[in-house]
Structures are given as C-alpha cells and as structure tokens.
Homo-oligomer: A and B are copies of this chain.
Amino acid sequence: MRTGIRALSEFSRFDEECDVLIVGLGCAGAAAAIEAREAGADVVVLERSSGGGGTSAMSGGVLYLGGGTKLQRACGFEDSPEEMFKYLMASVGKFPDEEKIRAYCEGSVAHYDWICAQGVPFKATFYYGCSGEPPTDDGLVWSGSEKTHPYKDLAKPAPRGHVPKHPHQTGHVLMKHLIASAREHGARIHGDSRVTALVLGADGAVVGAVAERYGEERSFRARGGVVIATGGFVLNDEMLQRWVPDGLRCSMRVAADGDDGSGIRLGMAAGADVAHMDKASISLPVTQPWGLKRGVIVNGQGQRFINEDTYYGRLGEAALFHHGGRAFMIVDDEIFEKPEYPNTGNVAAVGESIAELEAELGFARGSLQSAIAQYNEFAARGEDPLFGKDREWLRPLVKPPFGAFHCSTENCLYAVFTLGGLVTDADGRVLDPGRRAIPGLFAAGRSSAGVSVGSYSSGLSLGDGTFFGRRAGRAAAGAP
C-alpha cells in the first residue's frame, strides 16, 4: 500500500470509534470539533503534541474578519461584505477561490459573534499605527493593504484585523478559549497522538485513521469522516525545497512543531488534489513604526520595486520572490528611526550623501542616485508615478546623513509560512483531481488551500481556519 494508507480489510476491530475524527488541534481542528459536537456527532480529536494549540497558539492572534462586525462598528468603522469581498478578490493572489471568499465574507459578521461566543475576549478599541498585531490589548487593527495602491481604489478600505484582548502576540488567548470550548462541548481530545495513516475502504472512502501514541499504534474508526487540520508544511525542508525554495532562506518559519505537511501528504496518498503549494506568506516588517513608510526600498540593483506603504506581507513576497531576497531601505536624518521588530533595522551603510551611500552599498555608480533623485522630484509634488505610494508617506529624502537598513534575507527578519494544500470545497470536503469529493475526507486550515493564495493580509489563516474548520466539522457530522 502507499505510504500513509492502510486498507480497512486489515482491521478486524478498532481501538476506538466515533462519528467525526479530527486530526490536529489548532484553530481549524478546534472549530471543527465544536461544530461537529453542536451537530450531535461523537467527536475524537487526535493531536500530536501534548497540549494542542499548534501554530495558531504561537501566532499573532489576528483574525481577518469584516463586513461590519460588532467590533468594527464599535470602533466607528463602516464595512460591508461586498467591500471585503472586493478587497480579498483583488488582493489575495491570482485566481483565488471565489466561492470560498464569497462564503467567508458573507459569513464574517456572524463568525465574529461565534468566536466571541466561545469566550474569546476582544476590547472594543482601535489601534492606529501598526500592521498586524498591536503592542497593546486593543481589538482592531489594519492588517492588510486596504488603504494603499492599488487596493484603495478597488474597494472601500476598513481595518479588519480582529485581535483577542492581550498585549502583542495573542494567538494563545484564542486557542485557550477554543480548546476549552471544544472540551466543554464534549469532544474527546487525545494528546501525544500522531496520525500515521488513513484507513481506506475498498471503494477508496476514508473510514478511519491510525495513530501512534508513545510508540503504540491505536486505530480509530470514523463513521462520518476524518477532518485533516494539521497545518502547513513550512518545517518540511524537502517539501519547501520543491515548492517554496526561497522559504528556506527566511530567518523565521512561523510554525509550531507540527507543520511538516503530514496531513497534506496523507490526503495526497488517499488520492486528493492539491493547490497553490508554491504560495507562502512572506512578512518583511521593516516599515514598522509606520513613519518608516516614508523610506525608500530598493532591490539589489538600487531600483525601487514597490510602494513602500504596502502591507509587509505584500512587501515580503515582492522582495523574496521577485527580487532575490535582496533589498535595502533608504532613510534620511529627518525620518530616521529604528524598525522595531527583532532582526530588523540592521544598518547596512551611512553616508553624508546618496552618492556616498551608493558607493558604500556597492551599487553601480549612478544607480541609487538616479532612483532617489527621481523619487524626490515626484515626492516633492506628492506623486509616485512608478508605484502609487500614498501622498501621506511621500516626502523627499534630502536631510543628511543618509542611512540604509538591511532588508535582505541574510540580515533581516523574513517570516514564512505556507499557503498551499489539499483542495477542498467550501464545506471542507477534500476533492480528487477530477473535482469529485473523496468520501469521508475533509480538511481545513493550512493543510488545505484556503482564502489567501498570495500577497498575504494578516489574519486570513486564523480567519479561514476557524471559519472553514467549522464548516468541515458540520459537513463531517452530516449536518446540512
């Protein structure tokens, strides 16, 4: 048999039976467990670590939600599902899954209420001036490129980063409450249980799984279905080499121990299709504090390549995937301040003139000088004809000394996680290459290809993980 596949005929009995078997207790698995229980199913969750939480628990905790949530309204922002839909369709990559995005936007207001109903606290205050999770316990932030070119002209901007109440990294707050809720709902959670194979019937349907617990094998029969919610594959070097080779150069892989692609590989062995395996979220948070958006970012040839006020997910993707992961941020004395994230703000060069900076950085003579001269000329008029940077951040760099911060992979924080995975429909059913659902197999979270397939906005993975995790749980439970 194929790696990760066992035949039902091998088993005369199973160690445990249930209706819905969930593999992985991150945000998608917890949401699936809660909803499958709500639908009346007997639920078992197998989690390979002792406690669960996964990458969700060590993440920033931002949920990308909108359409006019209670939190958005309490903070004085207008939004609608249609504007959220327009932004996501334009921003999350080429040919995103329109059906999923439609469902996600239309269900977003109710989904926020559901998250709150699980006990997750949000403070009804807005934090201005950062991208992604705030340093405070405020509840709402900008977490995407909504207010910048070209998106500001395609959809009415609104902040959609919903952050559980806690200073800075808040993923653990989200997961504490989701896991507690799953337990309260009566899901049977087994830790230290690593799923090694799916059990297939003779007709190819998934009817259970086999797990290893402290070196012993335990078999599980799932009458309704198995939900794969094991996360992405950013910790699997071989898969990364194949699909996201530049990811190997990133100094930080955003992942708990489990993100080795095991769930994706199990699904493929069962005949599942995959999508967008080459896509990843690449964060390059060098324009934080936001005053640094007034800087000029250039590639290894001294050329600008993006509007510097764009979200750091889009910036990181452009720098790593299209400019070889080699870049510098140029500042003058007027706007100088240190980028605030660890391993950002390493100084590459300082000079009394741009010419001096250019020489110190090893650029060809004239290259950086002409780029900055051109930028300055237009910035003085509040224009950026090359990349459409917003007038708010445009001012000529003229006050010496000038400086350059490293924004290259070897000298700066690049944070990566993968976005591709199993192909699912909007109810979490895993599809084969002919778009037929594989009976009994479901997936959600980053083991599936979700809402974002590029140009990442923060909060889309916790957002679509919980949203489609719930739907997968319901579908596996046979609920309408």
Instruction: Identify the A interface with B (CB < 8 A).
Output: 1-5, 7, 9, 94-95, 202-204, 241-243, 245-246, 264-266, 268-278, 301, 303-304, 321-323, 364-367, 370-371, 373-374, 377-378, 385-387, 432-436, 438
Contacts and interface: CB of A to CB of B under 8 A. Distances in A.
A274 B274 CA distance: 9
A251 B274 CA distance: 27
This chain's copy number in the assembly: 2
Nearest to A364: B385
Nearest to A367: B374
A203 B1 contact: yes
B242 A95 contact: yes
A265 B385 CA distance: 45
Nearest to A449: B242
Nearest to A386: B301
Contacts of A268: 268, 271-273, 432-433
The CB with the most chain B CB atoms within 10 A, among A271, A274, A277, is that of A271
Given A202-B9, A378-B364, A3 B436 contact: yes
Contact of A386 (B5, B367, B433): B367
A303 B323 CA distance: 13
Nearest to A240: B95
Contacts of A323: 322
Given A202-B9, A271-B270, A364-B378, A242 B276 contact: yes
Contact of A377 (B3, B301, B366, B378): B366
A277 B241 CA distance: 13
A449 to B, nearest CB: 9
Contacts of A436: 2-3
A262 B4 CA distance: 24
A298 B364 CA distance: 17
A55 to B, nearest CB: 21
Contacts of A433: 3-4, 264-266, 268-269
Given A2-B204, A266-B433, 11 more contacts: A2-B432, A2-B436, A7-B203, A242-B276, A270-B271, A277-B278, A301-B304, A303-B303, A366-B377, A370-B371, A370-B373
